[in-house]
Structure 1
C-alpha cells in the first residue's frame, strides 16, 4: 500500500504540472491513494475553485486539503459543503463550512483517514491545534476506524510541526507539513512507526519566492513599487512524500521525499 502526498499547488504552473504528470507517476510507482494540498491552486496563487477541484480529481487525486487560504475564493464556502473530498483545517473556529476529516476508500479498497490541521503560530487564529489533535485521537483509532491515517499539518514553524509529528507517532501512518512551500530534508519513520516530514514543499515554479513572482516579491521586501503578489509561471517542480504502509499495523514501513521536474533536481 502506497500513499502519495503532494505539497501546496501554486497557480497555473503547479496545476499544469500535476495535470500532465500525476497519472503517469501513479502508474509508475503503483500509488494507491493521493492527497494534494490545493489551497494556492487558483490563478492568483490563493484559494481554489470548483473547477480546479474537478480537474485535480480527474487526474488521480483522491482528497484535496487546504489551509489558511481556503476561503480566498468565495465559491469554496459553498462547494466544500457538496464536495466531501475537499477538506479545510479541522481546528477552524466552528461553525465553519465543510469538514476537516474524512474517511475515504483507496484504489485497493482500503480505508484511508485524512485529517487536515492548521498551526497556531504566525497563522490566522484558530482553535488550539494540540487540543484538537488530542480530542481527535480520543475519538478515532488506527486499524479500528480506518486502515491508515494521513495528517496534513498546515503550519508556519518547524517546532510546532515536529511536536505534532511526535504527538501522533504510532497513531498515524503519515504526518506531513505543508504551507512553507520549501521541502525539508528530514523524511523518516519515527520511533513508534509514523512516517514524518516537516514540510512537503510545493508544486510550483521554484524560480520564484515560494511560488510567487521573484522580482515583485523582492520589490515588496525592499518597500519599492510593487503590485499584489502573483505566481511565477515557469515549469513547476512537484514536491511531496511517498509512504509505503504496513497493511497489518497501518503504520509506515518507509517514507521518501518525492521531487520531480522544474528547477529542483529530480530525485525521482
Structure 2
C-alpha cells in the first residue's frame, strides 16, 4: 500500500496548495491513501468546519490534528460526527471526537490511524505511551496497517515513542514543529519513522508566519500580531510503502513538492 502522509497544513496558502496538488498526486504517485494534519489550516491556528470539509473535498482521506484543534468551537460537532477527522487520543475521558479510527481503503484492506499528543513543552495530556498500548489492544488484530501521528514538540519524546512502538505499528510520523527532519528511516522491527513531516505552507516564513513580527517578538520580548506569510508554498511529508500482509514498512522517503505559487 502506498500512503502519502502530509505535515501540518498552514493557513490559506497551505489549503490552496492542497487544492492545487493533491488530486494529481493520487494518480502521479499511485497512492492508496492520503492523510494530513489539519490543525493549523484556518488562519494558521485551529481548524474550522468549513476548512475541514474543503480539505476533504480536495482529496485528503483523513485529517489528524493536535493541540490547536479546539480554536474554533464549530469544529466540535464535526469531531463528534465525522469519521474523517481525529484528535489526540490521550486527552481526558469525555473529550469530544475520536482519538483513532479504522476504515477500509481497498480490496478489504483496512487501515487504523492513531493521533497522540506529546507532553514535553506541550499542554497537559495523559501518557501517550500508555494510551498507545491501550488502543493497540483495542484494534482488530486483522488490521495490519497501523499509522500514528504523534503531535509533539520534543525530538526525544518522538524518538522514544517511535522506538517503543517499533514492530507493533506500521509507521509513526511526528508533527507540530513545521520543520521537515532528515531522519526518515525504518526501525529494526519494521516500523517507518520520521521525527517531523514538516508543513504544507509558505516557505519564506517562520513556521508559516510572516517573519518580521516573530523576529520582533524575540528581539523585544513584547507581544506581536501574528500574520500568515505569503510567497511560495511547499507540500511536505513522507511517502510510505507498506506490506499489506505484515504491516511492515517497505520504504519511507521524505516528500517535498518543490516551491509552488498558489
Pairwise same-fold verdict (TM > 0.5): yes
SS at match of 2:220: coil
Tell me what 1:266 maps to.
none
Q: How does 1:142-157 map to 2 (within 5 A)?
A: 144-157=141-154
Change (3 A) 1:111 1:202: same
Which residue of the partner structure matches residue 24 of structure 1?
24
> What is the match of residue 2 of structure 2?
2
Partners of 1:104 and 1:135 lie apart in 2 by 19
Give 1:251 deviation, angstroms.
1.0
Q: SS at the partner of 1:48?
A: coil
The structural deviation recorded for 1:50 is: 1.4
Q: How does 1:110-259 map to 2 (within 5 A)?
A: 110-140=109-139, 144-223=141-220, 227-259=224-256
Q: For residues 53-112 of structure 1, what are the alpha-carbon distances to aligned partners after superposition, in whole Å with 9 as ceiling and x for unaligned?
A: 111111211110000001011111122112121000000112100000000222454211
How many angstroms does 1:145 deviate by? 4.2
- 1:198 to 1:243, Cα distance in 2 relative to 1, 3 A: same
| Distance in 1 separating the partners of 2:11 and 2:215 | 19
**Aligned partners of 1:28, 1:262: CA distance in 2, in Å?**
17
| 1:224 positional shift | 6.5
CA contact (8 A) 2:109 2:244 kept: no
Q: How far apart, in 1, do the equivalents of 2:23 and 2:108 lie?
A: 19
Look up the match of 2:70. Answer: 71
- TM-score, structure 2 as length reference: 0.95
For 1:226 and 1:165, locate their aligned partners in 2 and report how far apart those are by CA, in whole Å.
Answer: 36
Deviations 1:29-58 (A, max 9, x none): 00101110000000x211111111111111
Cα distance in 1 for residues equivalent to 2:191 and 2:238: 13
- 1:57 maps to what in 2? 56
Once residues 222 and 168 of structure 2 are traced to their aligned partners in structure 1, the CA distance between those partners, rounded to angstroms, is 49
Alignment size in residue pairs: 260
Unaligned runs of 5+ in 1: 264-268
Q: Deviations over 1:187-234 (max 9, x none)?
A: 011101011001000001121111111011111111266632221122
Correspondence list, 1:29-48, <5 A? 29-42=29-42, 44-48=43-47
CA-atom RMSD, angstroms?
A: 1.5
| Contact kept in structure 2, 1:12 and 1:233, CA below 8 Å | no
Q: Is the 8 A contact 1:153 1:176 kept in 2?
A: yes
The answer to whether the 8 Å contact 1:119/1:154 transfers is: yes
